[in-house]
Amino acid sequence: MSGYFNHKGSGTSICVDETMEDSSNSDSGYQNGALLYFVVGKCGALKCPPYVDEKVLTCVVSLK
């Protein structure tokens, strides 16, 4: 998942477990934090196949 493409800090993608858990220091109040969005594959930017155009990627690996 990642931030929206034109939001500050959106360049970092993270893998998110489907079972959400809170942090021991979390607060249920409004935190004005970042929103996460699914990352989808786009042919041309990725090799298709094996990737499928407009399909949600299950995990992103940085090759830096």
Residue 19 within any structural domain of the chain:
no
Q: Are 1 and 14 in contact (CB under 8 A)?
A: yes
Predicted confidence (pLDDT) per residue in 7-50, tens digit: 776 667 778 877 767 667 666 666 666 778 888 889 998 999 98
Query: Is 57 part of a structural domain of the chain?
Result: yes
What residue numbers bound the domain in which 48 lies?
1-7+36-64
Whether 13 maps to a domain, the answer reads no
- pLDDT tens, residue by residue, 2-16: 887 777 766 677 788
Residue 64 within a domain = yes
Domain count, the chain: 1
21, part of any domain: no
In this prediction the pTM is 0.57
State whether the Cα torsion 46-47-51-52 is positive or negative.
Answer: positive
Domain membership flag for residue 61:
yes
Q: Tell me the C-alpha distance between 17 and 29, whole Å.
A: 22
